[in-house]
Structures are given as structure tokens and as C-alpha cells.
Amino acid sequence: MLQIGEAVPEFCLPNQDEEEICFRDIKGRWIVLYFYPKDNTPGCTVEACEFTRALPDFSELNAMIIGVSPDSPASHRKFIDKKELRLTLLSDEKKSLCSAFGVWQLKKFMGKENMGVVRSTFIINPDGVVAHMWESVKVKNHVAEVKAKLQELRG
């Protein structure tokens, strides 16, 4: 897993509108990059809705929020439309960014093992370095924790 103090690798992925978003184009401001398993599932929906509600607070901190999952751009578009989200969601169908951040891992569920996204959040500073991270995120109160940590990091 990418650790605090490590540089974020370059990446380019399509968003929900199939527009390519590259790290080089968004670097230079604070970024909350959160990885989640699947669109339209209970925990992922709560997390996305809470980040959407908190967008004004993050904007005041000059931070952008970006979600990443292995779902397709079309799936992201349906998720955004259905839940009235105002987030950028990146499609990592090849799991390249998930792998680079170390969140694509072997998971156990109901006695079965399979590969999947471990819900994780990274705060990236304007220099493109991981400033803070959470692994195996529990959705409840998470957005508030991220906002508080971002305020602390910004001084």
C-alpha cells in the first residue's frame, strides 16, 4: 500500500463522462482520493452521498474529491444520476491505479476469498505526495474524519 510521504504515481483514467483525467492535470491542489468497491452498494452509496454533501466544505479548503472503483464509466454515470452525486468518479477497470495504491487485495467474505478493492482514502498534498491515509475504512463518520485531518494538514 502507498504510504504517507510517498509520491503518487502518474495516472490517467476515464471519468463518468469518459473524459480522461490525468494526475498531472489535477496536481497542485489538495486531493482526497478515495477507493471503493462497487457503485450502488450500501456502504459505497453512503460514502459517496456524504462526500457529496461535504463538497462545499472541501471546496473551501481548496480540495477536490475523487472516487475510484473498477466499475465502468457507464456504471459511474448511472450511480451519479441515481444518487444525485456531484463527484468525479474514475473508472479503473484494469485495476492499475488500485494496484499502484495497493488497495486491490485478497479479501475474505463469508468464507470465500477473492480479489477486490479494500475501501481506502488518501489525502494528497499539492506536491503530489500522500499526506495521510486510511485503510479498511468504516463509512460511519469517515467524511468528517477526512475533513478534520485535511484542516489539520493545511494548518
With CA atoms as reference, report the closest residue to 2 among 66, 98, 144: 98
Distance of alpha carbon 49 from alpha carbon 36, whole angstroms: 13
pLDDT for residue 37: 97
CATH of the domain at 85: 3.40.30.10
3-state SS, residue 78: helix
Q: Would you say residue 7 lies in a domain? A: no
Position 78 confidence tier, pLDDT thresholds 50, 70, 90: very high
What range defines the domain where residue 135 resides? 12-154
Q: Would you say residue 117 lies in a domain? A: yes
With CA atoms as reference, report the closest residue to 131 among 58, 57, 30, 61: 30
**How many structural domains are present in the chain?**
1
The catalytic position among 12, 44, 49, 98 is 44
Q: Would you say residue 121 lies in a domain? A: yes
Helix (H) or strand (E) run with residue 68 in it: strand 63-69
**Is 44 labeled as catalytic in the residue annotation?**
yes
Do 83 and 45 form a contact (C-beta atoms < 8 A)? yes
With CA atoms as reference, report the closest residue to 143 among 68, 4, 43, 7: 43
Q: Would you say residue 92 lies in a domain? A: yes
pTM of the model: 0.96
pLDDT for residue 150: 98
